[in-house]
Structure formats: structure tokens, C-alpha cells
Structure 1
Amino acid sequence: MEAFVSFVNDLVWSKPLVYGLLITGILFSLLMRFFQVRHFKEMIRLMFQGEKSPTGISSFQAIAVSLAGRVGTGNIVGVSTAIFIGGPGAVFWMWATAFLGASSAFIESTLGQIYKREIKGQYRGGPAYYIEAGIKGKVGKIYAIIFALVTILSVGLLLPGVQSNAIASSMKNAFGVNQWVIAIVLALLLILIIFGGIKSIANVATAVVPFMAIIYIGLAVVIICLNISEVPALISMIFKSAFGAEAAFGGIIGAMIEIGVKRGLYSNEAGQGTGPHAAAAAEVSHPAKQGLVQAFSVYVDTLFVCTATALMILMSGTFNTTDGTTNSDGTPHLIKDNGIYVEAADGSKDVSGTAMYAQAGIDKAFSGGDYTFSPEFSGFGSYFIAFALFFFAFTTILAYYYIAETNVSYIFPGRGQKIWINVVRIALVLATVYGTLKTADLAWMMGDLGVGLMAWLNIIAIWILHKPALKALKDFERQKKAKGSGQYAIYKPDPNEVPTATFWHEDYPKRLKEYNIEE
């Protein structure tokens, strides 16, 4: 099983996808004149704008659900793994992926809003919806169904195991909790929440995600302040390593870029096609508003949370790097030999255990200089990482469920919808339980496969359909300039260019009346 998944994974995550994601981000950024810098303040303002309705959720709830999906295991274990394999320079390529990926996040989330539908009292949207509406005809319908099926498979079966495996591993390391206990607790919590639908998931995400992210980033700031003298050297090491100028890491620049981009995408999900599902559920007067909010969520995920993890790891001094080859005894060939890697009792190497590097940074910061790292040591760092992973990873699983439900609703819009939604609920719970028990290597490979398949399908789609999103941004900027604020910007789609944006064709006259504006 592992050999087969590894083989398919290598095909999916080939160089065309890795560098294609970077090129896509660069070109979209150029086309939008680096909006991610120009509209930074507007992103923050729009995030807290309180538009909501019985049909849709607010922008803040939408970004909370989106961040629930983005901020997860990838922000701790993923960063640790990236540094483990690619060295400190991988952090730079995660930053680059986030900055450029914000443009992909804007395009896909704005498209999600443009082509959203109101179904049974709530907004539904995402790549499957905009692929069908934008490409049209049999080709568009078949493409949309393929994306929906791949997404259900990925977020419903492949990806939950990565999150639950990290929760089980960290809880066992910190508190010695049996994996079966974690599996049962996760299953019960999921059942209690996911049967409440998007409103229930949004309420949990709104309460948990901002709270946990603030605490996590806050602790990182404290650690950085306690070790402020080391920060310049660490930043220098990241940049030198990224471009092969650091002697210890100079020979692995290709692996560094690939693992940085892969882990960056796994963490922030920009261009992958998950963000548009939550974006489409938001109540806004203009699609570009939600596009800007979702672009900012990429910053929160990678530039804030992932950077916090990276600095804690690098400050610990416990990380090491492998060039991907093995020694004669099967152990990784290390580029840097003064670190550790996690070894299980049977001799297998557990890359997900690199989360220990993050906890090592926390423990070292509070040790008063008297610190020696040991995989068996459980201090404050291990407890904190265990709790952080639990909340981050659990809310990510909730977001996965909502995405799966949205795509089930797309494929089965009729009477059988409720039955299939319940099937997906059960499947996701079982996948989560299974993920707490299987090997970490297989969990990560299956997760990477799911992310890669979705990314391929969505990146092709947004290149085909990106023009309405670009025009929506220009229209928003025009209205913002004319009115002095984007608060009352109203979207009026051109019926000749986007005839299938039926929601907005009906919504425009209602908005004019609501805002008391004469056309």
C-alpha cells in the first residue's frame, strides 16, 4: 500500500506542479499589480465587516472556517518536516508560496463567490460549481464532477488521517494517552458538531481558531523576545540556505524548493480549491471582498503561524537535515549531524515526530540556558504543542467535512442528498479514527496525494476562468475610489460575460434597494 501511494504521489507531485504553482502565483500577482501589498489594509477591514444573513455567514466566520482548514498539522508538523528535509531555506520557499499564493487564493475565492448558488436556504459554492458554470457544456459538467469526486475522496478519506495522526502522536508523547482513547474522543466530538452543518462548524471555528492562533503566535513572540539576539542570525541562515549560500545546505536547493512549496501549499492551501467552499458561504455585496479576505487568510497561516513555528524550531538547534538518501544501515544520510531524528522502537523513522523540534524550541527558551534535548523528555513545550495540534488539527477536520458535504450536495442535488451526506459523515469519522492508528508515513503520503490531485484540477480551472475574477477586482477598486470606501461596493455582473452568475443577476437590484442607491 505504502509503495503504491508513494509511486502515485511522485507522479502527482512532479516538478510541473511544484513550479507551476510558483509561476501561477507570479503571473496572477503581476496581472493584479501585487494587490496583496496594495490592499493589505483593506483586507483587514473587510475581515471584520459584519455582513451576514440567514442564508450566509459573515466574512469573519468565513475566514474562520477557511483558517480552520488552512491552520492545522501543516503549521507545526509540516514546517518541522520541511526543515527536516530541506533545511532552513525551505522556510523562505514557504514564505514565497504564501505571498504569491495569495493571488491564487483571491482568484479561486472570488470565482467561488461569483458562481455561488442559494440551495435549500444556504449558500453553496466552490470549484465544482464555478467549473460547471464557467466552462459550461458537457466538458464543464464532467470536469466539475471529477473535481467533486476527487475532493470528496481527498478531504473525506485521505486528509483527515494526517490531522488525527498528528493529534494522537503529540498526545501520546506529551501525556502518554492511548491512541484508541484519542480515536474515540475525536469520533464523538466530530459526530456532535458535523451534524449541525455549516452554522455549527462556523461557530466552533470562530470560537477556537482565532483564540488558538493568538495564543500560539503570542508564545512565539515571547520566545523570540527571550532569544532576540539570535534572530538576525536565524533570518540570515534562512536566506543563505534558500539560495544555496549556506555550506551545509548548498547541495539540496532543488529539494529545498520542492519541499518548501509542497509544505507551503499543504499548510495554506492557496490554489488547492478548498478555500472557495467557505468563501462562497459568506454574505457579501461584492465577490472581490471575500477574495481579499481569503487572500489575507494565507498570510495568517504561513507568514504568521508557520513563521512562528519555524523560528521556534531554528532557535532550538535540534533540527537536522537529510538529502533524501540513506546510509548502508537504512538510516537517513544527514547533512547536519548535531541534531536528532525520531526513531520508533521497531527502528522506523517517524517524520511526523519532527513536531518535537517545535516543542524543543519552547523548552529551550524557558530553560534558562540549561537545556539538553531528548526525545523522551516531556516538558511544557510538549504539552503546549499537543494542545495546539489538537485544536488546529481538529478544526481542520471540521473544515474538511464541510468541503466534502458541499461537493456531495453538488453531485446529489436531489432526494438522495441526505443519505449521501450521512455516508460521508460516517466515512470521515472512520477515516479520522483510522488515521490515529496507522503509520505517520502513510498518513502524510495519502494527504499529499489528496492535496496534489485537487491542486492539479483547480489550477487548470482557475487559469481557464480567471478573467471574471480579475474584472471583479477592477470593479471593486473603481467603486472604492469613487465612493472613498469599498464598504458599499455592489457587484453587477455583465450578462454577456458571466451569464451563469445567476445569484448576482438577481441580487443586484435587491442590493440597490437595500443601500438606497439609484442606478
Structure 2
Amino acid sequence: METIQTLFDYLSDLTWGWALVPLLVVIGLYFTLMTRFVQVRYFGRMFKLARPDAQTKTGQVSGWDALMVSVGGRVGGGNVAGVAVAVTLGGPGAVFWMWAIALVGMCTSLIECTLAQVFKRRSEDGTFRGGPAAYIKHGLGPNYRWLVLVYSFCLLASFGFGFNAFQGNTISTAVEDSLGISTVTTALIIGPLAGLIVFGGLKRIVKASDAIVPVMCFIYILMALAVIAINITELPRLVGMIVANAFGWEEAVSGGMGAALAAGLKRGLFSNEAGLGSAPNVAATADVKHPVSQGILQSLSVFIDTIVICSCTAFIVLLSPVYQPGGELTGAPLVQQSLALHFGQWAQYLLTVLLFMFSLSSIIYNYYLGEVAMTEFSKSKTAIFVLRVLVVACVMLGAAAPQATSVFFFSDPLMGLLAVVNLMVIVTLLPVVLRMLADYRQQLASGKHEPVLDACRFADLDIDRGAWK
């Protein structure tokens, strides 16, 4: 067992330790330049496309639905606890670098999610399936089947099992700390609740996300705005401190600019998942008229996750005297105490409820990623049923016995590996996205309000024509 753990530690060092973060940044900047800052040029269009009332074919997932599932997955306990850790370790400057990497990540997400739409397939039940596995098979060709299996295994093990155990752990410890409810009790609540959703398949996952995600984001944003309003006179000073600390002009923690840069980039990348190859699996489910439309919407998902929600946590913490750069109080307890200081003890209980919603939305998102990965090994109903049982068991195990999450030490290294695989593939397939962007721009320039993909114009690509009728 020690040998296996050492191997995964080595893999983690090779990816997250020194290679992956710079790779994500450099490739994101490359995409931004090659697409001529597409995330900036289509920023306003992101909000026009985010329509809850968007019409689709009967029974299909809309672009809005896919956006909500994606936001629900990206926005989790890390947007609260993780951001608090980042500003504790990196100082206020970490917030600036979170913003910077989010702007770059918006372009990376557009690229990978557009590819997911281009190469999506219509499944037997009429819904759409796709993601990195699909664009490896149909974009690179059948000779790369082995790479599909590597990617799918990493996705299944890390998101399907490992991260769901950690989400269970996040909510059970938060509930125990604030409400005094035992972790076992929380496990007995969240496990069946998650099972009720995941056993309903994609349609129930979409309905649950549509109900949970807007509410949890709205309440959390409202709380942050209230904190800002109470401390409005401190806001200019805080923004100046964030910028000064980001560039080392005002050192808040040991390491100065380097600590702020490292903490901000890692938190931003880990939170918004841009380039990691997870969100494209959800983006592919949407019934949209052009692949780029869903790519643009998924850019908005990154914006909501990092620029909006992560910033909410940062401002709640930084505007509180409880916060001390490099201090021992960090993570969710720091956010809880900050809110309690601003509003009173009731606020930490509300945060616990929000953390529950954040974790639940991430659990059902992670499960769906695991299901997509499982279909590359077996499409049988028995295999999917067993997967659902195992996922619920992992959630309950992580919630009931927090120390049990150490068993899932492989999660971060495998996520790093699937990110490397995904990045290499989307760099290779970038010309396909550039062609789609050119087609999209041309239709907009001709006066078409909503561009439509004509698959016949891309006969050289292995596109499922039936998915674009």
C-alpha cells in the first residue's frame, strides 16, 4: 500500500507539483491570443444566451440546464473553505491572481466545451452524450482508443468516487462544527438524498440543479453584498491592498508576490476546472443550435464560479477583523466566524445550509461525470446501477468517517493526469474550434440572431449528423 501511495504522490508532484499549473496558464493564454480574446468579445453574449426559458426539442437538456449543472459542480465547498485557505496562505493578493486565471480559464473552457458539442453523440434514449472521451475518439480517431480509456479511468476514480467522498466530508464536518450534529447523522441524511437524485438519471440531475443552484448562488451573493454594503468605506482600501499585495508592493505573508501568485492560481484553477476536462461532459448534453453557443455559456460558468462566488468569500473574509494573513484560523471556520462578526451567530448556521447545498450540487455533478466515464467500459444497466450504489456509499463513507477520505489519496493525482491528457488533446484540436468560431462570427456578421450549425459544411469532421438536425 505504501508503494502505491508513493507512486501517486510522485504523479501528483509531476502534475500539480510543478507542471500542470504553468501548463494551464500558458495554454490558456495561447488560446486567448489565437481566438483574439473571444471571452472578452463575447462577454455580453454570455448573458444573452443564459435564458432559463430557452426552447429545446421535447425531452432535451437546454443550454441553461447544462449551465446550471456545470455551475453546481464547479461551485462547491472549495469556493468557501478553499478561498479562505488561499487568502490566509497567499494574502489578499491571491484574490487578484484568482481573477486573472479566471479570465484566461474562460477561454480554455470555451474551447473544450465547444469541442464537446461538436463531437457529441445522440444516445439511445434520445439525449446527448459527449466530452473529452468523445472528442478523442471522433476528433483524433480510433487509434487513440487507449487514451480514451486512460482518461475515463481517471475521471471515474477521481470525480466519481474520490471527490464525492471529500464532498461528504466537507458537509458533515461543517454541520458538526456549527450545529453539533454527528457526522454519522449527516451521512444518513445526505446519502439517501444524493441517491434519490442520481438514481433518477440525467433528467433528475438537471431538475435538481435547476432548483438548487440559482437559490444557493443568489443567497450567497446577497450575503456578500450585504457585507460589502456594511463596510463600503473600506472597499477602496481593500481593492488597493489586493492589487498592491498581488505585485509585491505590500507584503502580507512570507513569500510576498510569489505566495500570492501560487495560492491564487492554484485556487482559481482548482475551483473553476477550466481545462481539466470535467465540465465538457456536461456541456455536451445541451441541445443548442451551434457548438460555440454552449462554449460561450460555459465561459459564463467559469465567471460565476471564480469572479463572482470566490470573490464573495474573499470579501467576506478580508473585510472582517477576524482575518489574519498567515494565521491559524482558516478554511470554513474563518468564513463562519467572519459572517458571525458581520451579522451575528445566525449567519454561520445559514452558511452551513449553503455549504450543504454546495456539496450536494457537486455530488450529483461528480456522479454524472462518473457515469459518463463508466459508459466507456460498460453501458449495461447493471454496471450503472452498481456505480450509483458505490457513489452513494462513498458519499456516506466520507461523511460518516472523515478520516476515511485518506483512502482516496489517488484523487488529486488522477485529476492532474486527466487534465494533462485533456490539454494535449484540445491543443491538437484547436483548428476545429477556430473553424467553428469563424462560422459563428460569419453568421452573426450576416445578421443572423442565433447561428445554426450546418454539419454538411464540415463533412471532413466525424460529426453525428443526427445530433444537428
Same fold (TM over 0.5): yes
Matched, 1:433 2:438: no
Q: CA deviation at 1:433?
A: 1.6
1:365, 1:255 → 2: CA distance?
28
1:450, 1:305 → 2: CA distance?
26
Q: Tell me which residue corresponds to 1:344.
A: none
2:133 to 128, 133, 148: 128
Structure with the larger RCO, 1 or 2 (CA within 8 Å, 6+ apart): 2
Matched, 1:35 2:32: no
What aligned pairs does 1:100-139 form with structure 2 within 5 A after superposition?
A: 100-121=104-125, 122-138=127-143
Q: Check conservation: 2:398, 2:405, Cα contact below 8 A.
A: no
1:252, 1:131 → 2: CA distance?
41
1:171, 1:12 → 2: CA distance?
33
Greater gyration radius: 1
Matched, 1:296 2:300: yes
Q: Tell me which residue corresponds to 1:403.
A: 369
1:255, 1:492 → 2: CA distance?
48
Q: Tell me which residue corresponds to 2:20.
A: 17
CA RMSD in angstroms, aligned pairs only: 2.1
Q: Tell me which residue corresponds to 1:345.
A: none
- Pick closer, same or farther for the CA change 1:248–1:255 going to 2, 3 Å: closer
- Pick closer, same or farther for the CA change 1:238–1:441 going to 2, 3 Å: farther
CA deviation vs aligned residue, 1:150-209 (integer Å, no higher than 9, x gap) = 100111111112211110111111100100011111110111111111100000000110
1:465 to 414, 429, 432: 429
1:35, 1:395 → 2: CA distance?
29
CA deviation vs aligned residue, 1:269-297 (integer Å, no higher than 9, x gap) = 11111111111100011100000000111
2:323, 2:204 → 1: CA distance?
39
Which runs of 4 or more aligned residues in structure 1 lie more than 6 Å from their structure 2 counterparts after TM superposition?
Answer: none
Q: Tell me which residue corresponds to 1:361.
A: 338
Q: Check conservation: 2:397, 2:404, Cα contact below 8 A.
A: no
Count how many residue pairs are aligned between Structure 1 and Structure 2.
463
- Pick closer, same or farther for the CA change 1:221–1:450 going to 2, 3 Å: farther
TM-score (normalised: structure 1): 0.85
Q: CA deviation at 1:401?
A: 0.7
TM-score (normalised: structure 2): 0.93
Q: Tell me which residue corresponds to 1:221.
A: 225
What aligned pairs does 1:220-299 form with structure 2 within 5 A after superposition?
A: 220-249=224-253, 251-299=255-303
Q: CA deviation at 1:245?
A: 1.7
Q: Check conservation: 1:73, 1:162, Cα contact below 8 A.
A: no
CA deviation vs aligned residue, 1:212-249 (integer Å, no higher than 9, x gap) = 10111011101100101111121122112212222333
Matched, 1:452 2:403: no
CA deviation vs aligned residue, 1:87-118 (integer Å, no higher than 9, x gap) = 22211121111110011100110000000001
- Pick closer, same or farther for the CA change 1:443–1:169 going to 2, 3 Å: farther
Matched, 1:421 2:384: yes
- Pick closer, same or farther for the CA change 1:73–1:27 going to 2, 3 Å: same
Unaligned runs of 5+ in 1: 323-338, 342-352, 368-378, 511-519
Q: Check conservation: 2:77, 2:167, Cα contact below 8 A.
A: yes
Seq. identity, %: 35
- Pick closer, same or farther for the CA change 1:254–1:445 going to 2, 3 Å: farther
2:336, 2:132 → 1: CA distance?
37
Q: CA deviation at 1:494?
A: 4.1
Q: Check conservation: 2:271, 2:306, Cα contact below 8 A.
A: yes
2:424, 2:76 → 1: CA distance?
26
2:90, 2:191 → 1: CA distance?
35
CA deviation vs aligned residue, 1:371-415 (integer Å, no higher than 9, x gap) = xxxxxxxx22321221111001111100011111112113324xx
Give secondary structure in 2 for the equivalent of 1:90: helix
